[in-house]
């Protein structure tokens, strides 16, 4: 049981870790203005308060179990207080956000111009890189988190979509692969995965960055996604703790 408590404390610390910046990549964008977001109230699946436990529950527990339960309740209260102060937005810039509860990704959609539809599938944090203790000044020793973006841009019904794979870091967006998809690619075993963005001429890269920036696919979007995922991580952790609390109380 003691090992379980220590593991729980480590999980809590990881859930509350802030993102930090990372080194530049060949496809990253220049910085710009802050994005506007619209917040939402917590859904019914995320309770407005932590369920406490009564004396009857505590009396039938061992001291170790009671201590574990107190830690769970205290941690959930802290997480829910943080989530209430920084609620998840339903919009990021010009994009509508679908949270996809229970999935390891969210979906952003918007229309651009008369016939463009843009859909972005953003993973939750899928890896992190430690900042060396000797580098990056005040950021040394911290962790910087990574989000994978899969962007689909279509122009009208029946058009072949432009697909872009991006790496999202806390303060910049890095383009990795570009591909105009065709129906034939779904019929082959090993389809073409697109051209590496960093291999393009610098003038092409600059023009593509301007093209995507006009559509709101830029560093500000990357920053907002990291803030979103940090708060979503806290909410998911609180829900998980709620299930653990129910088990311990039984």
**Under 8 Å between Cβ of 121 and 105:** yes
- Give pLDDT, residue 57: 64
Residue with tokens 């918007």: 110
What is the rounded distance in angstroms from the CA atom of residue 24 to the CA atom of residue 27? Answer: 8
| End-to-end CA gap in the chain | 16
pLDDT tens figures, 67-82: 888 899 999 988 888 8
Each residue of 5-16: b (16+ CB within 10 Å) or e?
A: eeebeeebeebe
At the topology level, CATH places domain 92-232 in Mitochondrial Matrix Protein; Chain A (3.10.280)
**Under 8 Å between Cβ of 168 and 222:** yes
- Using only C-alpha atoms, the chain has a radius of gyration, in whole angstroms, of 22
Q: Look up residue 218 and give its two tokens.
A: 């830029």
Cα dist from 207 to 27, 36, 82, 176, whole Å? 11, 25, 40, 15
What is the rounded distance in angstroms from the CA atom of residue 66 to the CA atom of residue 60? Answer: 9
Q: Look up residue 235 and give its two tokens.
A: 């909410």
pLDDT tens figures, 204-214: 999 999 999 99
- Average pLDDT in the 166-177 region? 93
What is the residue-wise DSSP string for 185-242?
A: GGGSSS----EEGGGS-HHHHHHHHHHHHHTT-SHHHHHHHHHHHHHHHHHHHHHHHH
pLDDT tens figures, 32-88: 334 444 443 444 444 444 555 555 666 678 888 888 888 999 999 888 888 777 788
């Amino acid at each position: 049981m003691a090992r379980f408590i220590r593991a729980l404390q480590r999980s809590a610390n990881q859930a509350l870790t802030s993102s930090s910046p990372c080194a530049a990549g060949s496809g990253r964008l220049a910085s710009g203005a802050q994005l506007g977001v619209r917040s939402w109230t917590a859904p019914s699946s995320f309770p407005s308060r932590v369920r406490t436990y009564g004396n009857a529950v505590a009396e039938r527990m061992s001291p170790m179990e009671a201590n574990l339960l107190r830690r769970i309740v205290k941690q959930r209260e802290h997480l829910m207080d943080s989530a209430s102060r920084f609620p998840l937005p339903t919009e990021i810039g010009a994009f509508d956000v679908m949270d996809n509860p229970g999935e390891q990704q969210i979906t952003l959609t918007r229309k651009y111009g008369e016939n463009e539809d843009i859909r972005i599938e953003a993973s939750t944090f899928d890896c992190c890189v430690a900042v060396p203790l000797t580098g990056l000044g005040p950021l040394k020793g911290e962790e910087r988190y990574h989000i994978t973006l899969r962007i689909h841009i279509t122009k009208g019904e029946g058009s072949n979509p432009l697909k872009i794979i991006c790496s999202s870091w806390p303060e910049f967006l890095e383009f990795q692969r570009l591909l105009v998809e065709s129906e034939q690619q779904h019929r082959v075993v090993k389809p073409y995965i697109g051209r590496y963005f960093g291999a393009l001429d610098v003038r092409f890269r600059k023009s593509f960055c301007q093209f995507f920036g006009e559509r709101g696919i830029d560093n500000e979007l990357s920053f907002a996604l990291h803030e979103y995922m940090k708060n979503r991580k806290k909410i998911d952790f609180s829900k998980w703790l709620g299930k653990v609390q129910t088990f311990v109380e039984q």
